[in-house]
Amino acid sequence: MEEMIERIKLKFNAKDINRQKATLVFFSVEKKDLEACVLYMKEFEGYSNLTMISATDWIETGTFGLTYHLHNYKNRTDVGIKTYIDRKNPSMVSINTLWAGARVFERELKEMFGIDFPGCPRVDDPFALEGWDNLPPMRKDFDTVKYSEETYFPRPGRSTKDNVTQMEEKLYAVEAEVKKGIAKTVRKNK
């Protein structure tokens, strides 16, 4: 793994190397180098499986972090390749020609975060939120409370009970009645 990390540093100017454990490492590359880096990892380092593409909304810095998770079956190691894109105009090159499975991840990220992946088939088709016309729901500036209050009808809240009382009333009602009966009998006999 150390030799591979050194090659990535030289070829792609990888930064922020984070060795989570002996079989897992994360590093960052520039947006312009991402496609070449994942292609290199697939073709020359044996990371033939794209397990996931994840996104993080860094609203404070005005960026989205994208992480491409790759797995090498031969040596059973994983890498996470991170890159950062502008939050105001979120767009990233599609890697669906390298892994067909990337289409699913890219469509989901488009719908949930609003990140565009030009070249990804059906990227604008609804993925899970048919008819959604609001801000993408996974962005930090999406107000879930406001959306819920405007969308769903109000209903009474739940009440909270003491656990012991709840158990006695609902689960052990017969035993509770027996205890009450015994207590009455004891009082009468005194």
Task: Render pLDDT for 150-166 as a digit per residue (tens, 0 to 9).
Answer: 888 777 776 777 788 77
29-34, Cβ contacts within 8 angstroms, sequence gap of 24 or more: 29/81, 29/82, 29/83, 30/83, 31/83, 31/84, 31/85, 31/92, 33/83, 34/66, 34/68, 34/81, 34/83, 34/92, 34/93
The C-alpha angle with vertex 170 and arms to 164 and 176, in degrees rounded to 5, equals 70
Residue 41: its pLDDT value, please? 98
What residues in the chain have per-residue pLDDT under 70?
158, 173-190
Measured between its terminal Cα atoms, the distance across the chain in Å is 80
The token pair at 137 is 């729901």
Task: Report the predicted TM-score, pTM, of the whole model to 2 decimal places.
Answer: 0.79
Q: What pLDDT, in 10s, does the model give residues 62-89? A: 999 999 999 999 999 999 999 999 999 9
Residue type, 35: E
Residue with tokens 């797995």: 71
Residue 155: its pLDDT value, please? 72
CA distance 177 to 143: 48
Domains of the chain: 2-155 (3.30.460.80), 162-190 (no CATH)
Strand segments, DSSP code E, in the chain are 15-21, 24-28, 49-58, 63-72, 77-86
Residue 21: its pLDDT value, please? 93
